[in-house]
Structure 1
């Protein structure tokens, strides 16, 4: 492969072609392989960096272990506000989060914010709660248990306000460096008033880094004029991303048609009603702006898909498809709903690692929904067969940014028949993610002459040479698909390690 001025100039193995580049700098990969660089279609960069630079609770194995980690951090940073992320009580023996009193016993009067892994609920110390006037009157409040809904958004905003500019800056750069080190050259930042707020978003826009950031702003509008004005104000690529229709299954806030199996009186939360969903879609389509929502539960999906059907009736499928509308997560979707979305060209920005972490008969999904309902979640093959464009990401800090883990998870779904091929999964994490971000030139995310020279060099790791010959061959595909040879990604196989990341000819890592 020859690269000139940030563009792939030539591909081949013949000496005649090579002779055109006699004065080129030649790099011998010594057994490594090159593939199109990845794009993460859903991420929160500052929060991801805060996980890297702050208190990481993803390894907590019990409520007491979680509190011990907080105690150690408090002792090492006396008097400083605490921002922590990642506890997951569904993996603990008693499935019980720390209480406010237990957290207070560890941190004293220090404001402490401990986000659950899905970031839709959090344990907050009294020192933080007291900084939010009127908190007990807000939806989602509980005096002893984790806060959710509006109460969570308020304490999260206050905890965010306590971060210093240096903490935020260091976190962003740490996240961007980690992204580049993972072979990712572009990300879709899902920003919004209830995510990082306008200051965080504008600080990110001003950050100088080689990783390309495509930003979405999750705020609802009701007219085309409002949509255009908000795009002008924010500089976002669309009014999409984490515009919450509902919450998350782990926090019992995803909006369901039937109650949770482990909470019979609960069907989750509706944050955006049917009229507001339709108003937003109609306004954005009229303005030619990308719209979208965070949508997980089947009741939430139903409300959105019904609005999409009405949208197509008014504007026609081609006009709707041109806007590049997208849905984040889309975990509980039926075949009929997938067909409607496919006909409208609405993209599904999904996170395969959700199934890897929480799927299966004994996973969190089965606990929350029962085994039968849980088995239908994240149906990648159903959506692909209905013509729904797929784009894959991490939702970091919720799951790992490692894109090969994403590809493996999509091709090894817990539910038989819901997986897609490694080739299709790789395409969703490269070409599909570029397309979902508005790049529709037909070549971004590939390595063909004329394409941007955005690629990564990978070491595939040790292969089992004692295994049968056909089991150690690198997975490959017809060259006409423009997907390169890919490594084995069976469960247990080591994931490739990134040696170098290049975007438009510029080295970002390695």
Structure 2
């Protein structure tokens, strides 16, 4: 028995397609884009199609977020959100109120940012006073340090000998990992499930149809990771597991045991600027005694990269400070010298965050096909002359961070994500941040930014067919319908792609990403034929 292919013909819209920049119509058959063009020829070519009148909606490839922590983001949505706290007093008030009204085994909060406060982060005694007897775990906005109550510290075991231990203040490094594991153990399966659903639903409501979960032993644990990969949700989840291996056999075994798609994501080489744990060559400006921390040595980095390359498994590392970046780039060059550049490039290895990559390092990454998975909202939130980066590093060093233009100019593949819950998964503000970088000359064109959140994101996830993330014929039908204002072809004032503003270049227009413009409003999204969101 044969079945008849089902075709939908979308007409009367504005289609974002490289092959037909002025397209108003698109035909989709059994989850695949088969044609794009104008309404009249579309109707003639597909006389039996189901007609969908777009009524002027903008149709574009749906977004992919290349770096998320799904359950942690969900907990910030369903639990105690501290992202807008104004100081220690405000934080303690909110914690006390939450503790009185919730009987969870762990009071789990996220998002405090002491660089915006007039006072220091509260200590353990102050936390105990507002939530007596309760296990309280409050992560800093970068999720690389946390304030923990005395009962939670007791559940974590002996912390005093661990790196990053503080008897009264926030814990970092290994001490933080131990406290986080204790807090995680207090979450019920129901809490985890509710958090995952809330997170994925929220992402779906903003045009995201696929995410890259960055898990690991010190992040959310294997139970949470495997539960997430089994969730039946229209948002596709690709899983990365941050655990170092030393041989191809080990790499294959870990991949099989976890169900991961790659051995990278948050494989921590260092920490974060905000928590003073990003690894630097020269000290922090506001802590001259501190260079941050390297969690992996050069031999471990090189062994992991060599093992994954030999096993043809995508590897990756969390790198933020310049010392961590240099350690990984040196390892990439060394492994390429041993295994050959094509073998390394075939794997599509990744650097997560990659905030301190120089132009010379980017040229090495481009040579060996390494992808930079970056978060434009980091610059929007912490960049500028008086932002957190400048406080931690000084204005000159801060201005060199997250240089999207310099990296893109080398041919290195960019992919964009949110690092939720560190920043919210909001694609349009993210693109605006990439275009309007706080450092003049570091922003990229809207077209390049959009590609990094769609086509580049699929490439970062191992899909290299040249079609995923587009609406060209042959592409999977992963698209979103948006209400938006005028479409424009524009570039940042300082751009390496100024030619794209020429109408003769046949570049598809995008919603206006000028500062102060409204975000498009999602009406519907579909991923490979399955409805992800419908307003």
TM-score range, shorter chain: over 0.9
Among candidates 109, 113, 116, match of residue 84 of structure 1: 109
State the 1:30 CA deviation: 2.5
2:143 alignment partner, SS class? coil
Q: Which ranges of structure 1 fall in alignment gaps of 5 or more residues?
A: 462-471
8 Å contact 1:393–1:429 — kept in the other structure? yes
1:176 aligns to 2:238 (yes or no): no
Matched, 1:350 2:374: yes
Unaligned runs of 5+ in 2: 1-25, 491-499
User: Could you tell me how far apart the structure 2 residues matched to 1:337 and 1:385 are?
Assistant: 12
CA RMSD of aligned residues (A): 1.5
Instruction: State how 1:213-292 maps to structure 2 within 5 Å.
Output: 213-292=237-316
- Give the match for residue 185 of structure 1: 209
Q: For residues 443-482 of structure 1, what are the structure 2 equivalents within 5 Å?
A: 443-460=467-484, 474-475=488-489
Indicate conservation of the 8 Å contact 2:489/2:507, yes or no: no
The range that moved more, 331-340 or 375-384, is 331-340
- CA deviation vs aligned residue, 1:162-205 (integer Å, no higher than 9, x gap): 00100000110111111111111111110110111110011111
| Structure 2 counterpart SS, 1:130 | helix
Is 2:441 the counterpart of 1:413?
no
1:466 paired residue number:
none
Kindly indicate whether residue 373 of structure 2 is the aligned counterpart of residue 359 of structure 1. no
Q: Write the deviation string for residues 275-301 of structure 1: whole angstroms up to 9, x where unpaired.
A: 100111111111111111000000111
- Structure 1 residues 297-446: aligned runs within 5 Å: 297-446=321-470
After superposition, the C-alpha distances for 1:69-101 in whole angstroms (9 at most, x for unaligned) are 11221121146420110000111123x111111
Q: CA deviation at 1:62?
A: 1.3
Could you tell which deviates more after superposition, 184-193 or 74-83?
74-83
The 1:496–1:79 alpha-carbon spacing in structure 2 relative to 1, beyond 3 Å, is closer
Deviates more, 1:228-237 or 1:12-21: 12-21
1:142 matched to 2:166? The reply is: yes
Question: If the length of structure 1 is used for normalisation, what is the TM-score?
Answer: 0.95
Q: Are the aligned partners of 1:295 and 1:329 in contact in 2 as well (CA < 8 Å)? A: yes
Report if the CA contact (8 A) 1:245-1:294 is conserved: yes
Does the CA contact (< 8 Å) of 2:66 and 2:417 recur in 1? Answer: yes
Partner of 1:10: 35
Query: TM-score, structure 2 length as denominator?
Result: 0.91
> Is contact 1:210–1:503 with CA below 8 Å preserved after alignment?
yes
**2-structure distance, mates of 1:319, 1:137:** 41
CA contact (8 A) 1:35 1:484 kept: no
Residue 203 of structure 1 corresponds to which residue in structure 2? Answer: 227
Aligned residues: 499
- Which whole-Å CA distance do the structure 2 matches of 1:79 and 1:432 have between them? 40
In structure 1, the residue matched to 2:56 is: 31
CA distance in 2, matches of 1:361, 1:26: 53
Cα distance change on mapping 1:162 and 1:450 into 2, 3 Å: same
Structure 1 range deviating more: 96-105 or 36-45 = 96-105
Q: Is the 8 A contact 1:446 1:482 kept in 2?
A: no
* Aligned partner (choices 32, 49, 69) of residue 74 of structure 2: 49
Distance in 1 of aligned mates of 2:525 and 2:82: 29
2: CA distance, partners of 1:483 / 1:53? 41
Shift of 1:233: 1.0
Cα distance in structure 2, aligned partners of 1:483 and 1:279:
43
- TM-superposed CA distance for 1:15, in Å, is 2.2
Higher relative contact order structure (alpha carbons within 8 Å, sequence separation ≥ 6): 1
Distance 2:72 2:93 in 1: 22
SS in structure 1 at match of 2:64:
strand
Mark the CA change 1:305 to 1:193 in structure 2 (over 3 Å): closer, same or farther.
Answer: same
What is the DSSP-based 3-state SS (H/G/I as helix, E as strand, rest coil) of the residue aligned with 2:472? coil
Residues 58 and 482, structure 2, Cα contact 8 Å, conserved in 1: yes
Alignment correspondent of 1:467: none
Superimposed CA distance per residue, residues 102-127 of structure 1 (whole angstroms, 9 cap, x where no aligned partner): 11111111000000000000000011
